[in-house]
Amino acid sequence: MSLQGKVAVITGGNSGIGYASAKALKAKGAQVVITGRSAEKVKRAAAELGVVGIVADVSDVSAIEQLARQVKEQYGKVDVLFVNAGVYGPSPIGQITEEMLDHQMGINFRGAVFTIEKFLPILQEGASIINLSSVLADAGMPGGAVYAASKAALNSYTRTAAAELAPRKIRVNAINPGPVNTPIFAKTGLPEEALNDFAANMQERVPLKRFGQPEEIAHLVSFLASDEAAFITGGAYNIDGGVAILT
Ligand SMILES: NC(=O)c1ccc[n+]([C@@H]2O[C@H](COP(=O)([O-])OP(=O)(O)OC[C@H]3O[C@@H](n4cnc5c(N)ncnc54)[C@H](OP(=O)(O)O)[C@@H]3O)[C@@H](O)[C@H]2O)c1
């Protein structure tokens, strides 16, 4: 129970990695708040997990402000901020639209920056911020230019935030997963055949020859969240079945 007494906020906790992490953090004793865009999904996930669910779209700064206010009123502090909400929208260069760029940067990067900005006043000394990035931040996978750039920006931001927040003993780290078995790919709107081809190709490229499971990422999240990781800040940790070796 290494997170006993800690309050953890997970953006985008109604599905995938955020959902598995909520379960893991709760199992280690944390009081957990999850967020998401859809009231129905957030309510259902919160009930399944036995945690608090609050609807907040991270692309809307006033919604993040309202979320931070609610958490402050209910708990008075935050010890673990898991900045996880994200979207993936592949598009080859030459077909990139303003809308898809603004959408992905608005959630994956701008949303992350303003989540941290608005929670900063209630982050405790010794708090842990974990930014969910991607191995693609350092790769060049065709079709992923905008997504990869949003995650590369997040990793760059993570380093500066770690340096600036160190005097408050707040640790800031990024996690770079490889392909993980979550609904994120189905949400791209790509036809099933294209999704199956993508999954088969991706799996073949991973040295361990499989996708990761959300629970495997959750183990790293709960370690970085805990005081066992008290000397770790400013890092970006691959958890990717080895795929980064080959990219
Ligand atoms: N799966 C992978 O292979 C993989 C690999 C590397 C990195 N990642 C990163 O891992 C993170 C979690 O993704 P996942 O794979 O677990 O996918 P997921 O199951 O689709 O989960 C994404 C979560 O983020 C939420 N979200 C999206 N946009 C939001 C917004 N504007 N405001 C609030 N919440 C929002 C989603 O809620 P809705 O249900 O409302 O959309 C959902 O709860 C993302 O940052 C993703 O980029 C994933």
Read off the pLDDT of residues 14-25 as tens digits, 9 standing for 90 and up: 999 999 999 999
Query: What is the structure's pLDDT at 55?
Result: 98
Nearest-CA residue for atom 17 of ligand 1 = 184
What is the whole-number distance in angstroms between the Cα of residue 11 and the centre of ligand 1?
A: 9
Residue to mutate, 35, 175, 184, ligand 1, most ligand atoms under 8 Å from C-beta:
184
What is the whole-number distance in angstroms between the Cα of residue 107 and the centre of ligand 1?
A: 10
Ligand 1 pocket residue status of 45, Cβ below 6 Å: no
In a domain, 125, yes or no: yes
In a domain, 2, yes or no: no
Ligand 1 pocket residue status of 134, Cβ below 6 Å: yes
What is the whole-number distance in angstroms between the Cα of residue 112 and the centre of ligand 1?
A: 12
As a three-state string, the secondary structure of the chain is CCCCCCEEEECCCCCHHHHHHHHHHHHCCCEEEEEECCHHHHHHHHHHHCCEEEECCCCCHHHHHHHHHHHHHHHCCEEEEEECCCCCCCCCCCCCCHHHHHHHHHHHHHHHHHHHHHHHHHEEEEEEEEEECCHHHHCCCCCCHHHHHHHHHHHHHHHHHHHHHHHHCCEEEEEEECCECCCCCHHHCCCHHHHHHHHHHHHHHCCCCCCECHHHHHHHHHHHHCHHHCCCCCCEEEECCCHHHHC
Residue 62 domain boundaries: 7-246
Length of the chain: 247
In a domain, 1, yes or no: no
Read off the pLDDT of residues 76-99 as tens digits, 9 standing for 90 and up: 999 999 999 999 999 999 999 999
Ligand 1 pocket residue status of 22, Cβ below 6 Å: no
In a domain, 144, yes or no: yes
In a domain, 217, yes or no: yes
In a domain, 121, yes or no: yes
Q: Quote the number of domains for the chain.
A: 1
Enumerate residue ranges in the chain where pLDDT < 50: none
Ligand 1 pocket residue status of 218, Cβ below 6 Å: no
What is the whole-number distance in angstroms between the Cα of residue 1 and the centre of ligand 1?
A: 27
Annotated catalytic, 147? yes
Q: What is the mean pLDDT of the chain?
A: 97
Using a cut of 0.95, tell me whether the model's pTM lies above it: yes
What is the whole-number distance in angstroms between the Cα of residue 85 and the centre of ligand 1?
A: 5
Greatest Cα pair distance, the chain, in angstroms, is 51
Read off the pLDDT of residues 194-212 as tens digits, 9 standing for 90 and up: 999 999 999 999 999 999 9
CATH of the domain at 205: 3.40.50.720
Q: How much of the chain exceeds pLDDT 70, in percent? A: 100
Catalytic-labelled residue, pool 19, 88, 147, 157: 147
In a domain, 131, yes or no: yes
Pairing mode, strands 7-10 and 78-83? parallel
Structure tokens at 152: 């590369």
Ligand 1 pocket residue status of 199, Cβ below 6 Å: no
Query: What is the structure's pLDDT at 62?
Result: 98
